[in-house]
A and B are shown apart, each in its own frame.
Chain A
């Protein structure tokens, strides 16, 4: 796992992917920060974090698109899968590397908070809650991206499908509102990524929301392992 983690991390910066992801995230969040906080003179950071979900939906597919699809495409998975490494370790190494890059991206929001503190006193607890929420949401998205990447050999297809899946996760609220069956609509609402995330942006830390994102990430990583396993057995 350690070896794969280190290689992935290196790969993010020997290929343009890591830079593109970070640039996209910094530019997007910077734009929203400018619009919602600086120009309007507001010390409320909730808006930025609400809007950041769009940045994630575009940027995370780029971060994760090649994780497993490229291994399959270049046949380098033969090196990984014939080495004494478990599939769980392999997937976890990939996840952690992407996660670390993601943390580097999210760290920029701390800078925004510091900038705001020059003008007004930000509510540091709310900021902390926001960052935790963003990290949790991001880890679920990364897991989705890795899962989708395991299904295809093509990076572009992987990115597009990841984006589509994240879009569906984002739209679950809207979908549930048009479903006439009550119990089904209820279940879908409960799975809504946006609802779960909004709580964090308002400064509410709900353990069930946190667990929701953690389990979403765990489920998709588990499914990724199953996909890799199934490929061997098919």
Chain B
């Protein structure tokens, strides 16, 4: 269990992390989501005692990391952004070193063998780390965090640099670990957090902007309804008609097909349901409605909304153009 209370970190005048609080319960995988430079790694470094906090408190299983660092650090397995590997050692030497470093009491050979099996690095066990690929290094880093079987795992972007099949493997592994560990996982990859985590904390510019399950986040944020309608009809007239519907907040033509067919995005506020009116107006004009679907906010939309605020429109436009 991890409790973070009003944690802050200042670098001179710069505020890297600003007064954040959250809790990760036992057996929970907490996703720590934010754009690059949001303060994710800083927070994790504070939780693991690598750097000190300017203010506030971090409790690992009830032990304050700054007051009783030796005791608290024993409870933590940490995989930093860059796996802390010594390139000149073999995997075996390195894991044995970590085992000694953590003053681990479990039977050494079987414990290390179990971990290697879990993260699938048995076949590189005797190889020198500098000759390993990025994916294997990441896994050795994860193995390092697992040595000593700590109850709390703090993983900073654990899937960075892995290929798609490795990513899936590591995610499955983290899910498995999440059943009997407290896991905090940081990422800027939304789908990852969506798949793996039970709860999501979104951090931006050092502030927590959301802390909830993914479902709830989608619910609270999707205040407007979004409809995508496919209409066969003269485009300008269709747009004019759509503008005339009351309750419509936003309109956009998304994609054009052959003839007069096009997709339109219609955003309305929560109260108004315009589907019936839409249907009737289209048919009274002699056009044809080919499709109608509601669109829920994806995690990506939520994320952008939370972290970019007003810039969201410009960003999405730029993104669309880039696509």
Residues of A participating in the B interface, judged by any CB pair closer than 8 Å: 2-4, 6-7, 10-11, 14-15, 74-86, 232-234
Residues of A within 8 A of B93 (CB): 10
Q: Are A6 and B100 in contact (CB under 8 A)?
A: yes
Q: Does B245 contact A (CB under 8 A)?
A: no
Q: Which residues does chain B contribute within 8 Å of A10, judged by CB atoms?
A: 89, 93
Q: Is there an interface contact between A3 and B11, defined as CB atoms closer than 8 Å?
A: no
Chain B residues lying within 8 Å of A86, measured Cβ to Cβ, are 70
Q: Interface of chain A, helix or strand or loop or mixed?
A: helix
B87 touches A81 (CB 8 A): no
Q: Say whether, besides A83-B73, A232-B52, A75 and B101 are in contact (CB < 8 Å).
A: no
Nearest-neighbour CB distance to chain A for B29, whole angstroms, equals: 20
Closest to B87 in A: A74
**A7 touching B52, Cβ below 8 Å:** no
Chain B positions within 8 Å of A14 at CB level: 88-89
Asked if B74 CB lies within 8 Å of chain A CBs, one says yes
In the complex, which residue of chain A has the Cβ closest to the Cβ of B84?
A79
Residues of chain B in range 58-94 having any CB-CB distance to chain A below 8 Å = 69-71, 73-74, 76, 78, 80, 82, 84-89, 93
Whether the pair B52, A76 counts as a contact (CB closer than 8 A) is no
Name the B residues within 8 Å of A232 (CB-CB). Answer: 50-52
Residues of B in contact with A (beta carbons under 8 Å apart): 11, 45, 48-52, 69-71, 73-74, 76, 78, 80, 82, 84-89, 93, 97-98, 100-103, 144
Name the residue of chain B whose CB is nearest to the CB of A14: B88
Name the distance in Å between A8's Cβ and chain B's nearest Cβ.
10
Please state if B85 and A83 are interface contacts (CB–CB under 8 Å). no
Name the distance in Å between B101's Cβ and chain A's nearest Cβ. Answer: 4
The answer to whether A3 touches B86, judged by C-beta atoms less than 8 angstroms apart, is no
- A4 touches which of B48, B50, B101 (Cβ 8 Å): B101
List residues of chain B with CB within 8 A of the CB of A74: 84-87
- In chain A, what residue has the closest Cβ to B72? A84
Q: List 27 A-B contacts (CB under 8 A).
A: A2-B100, A3-B101, A7-B89, A10-B93, A11-B86, A14-B88, A14-B89, A15-B88, A75-B82, A76-B85, A77-B84, A78-B50, A78-B84, A79-B80, A79-B98, A80-B84, A80-B101, A82-B48, A82-B50, A82-B73, A82-B76, A82-B78, A83-B73, A84-B69, A84-B73, A84-B74, A232-B52
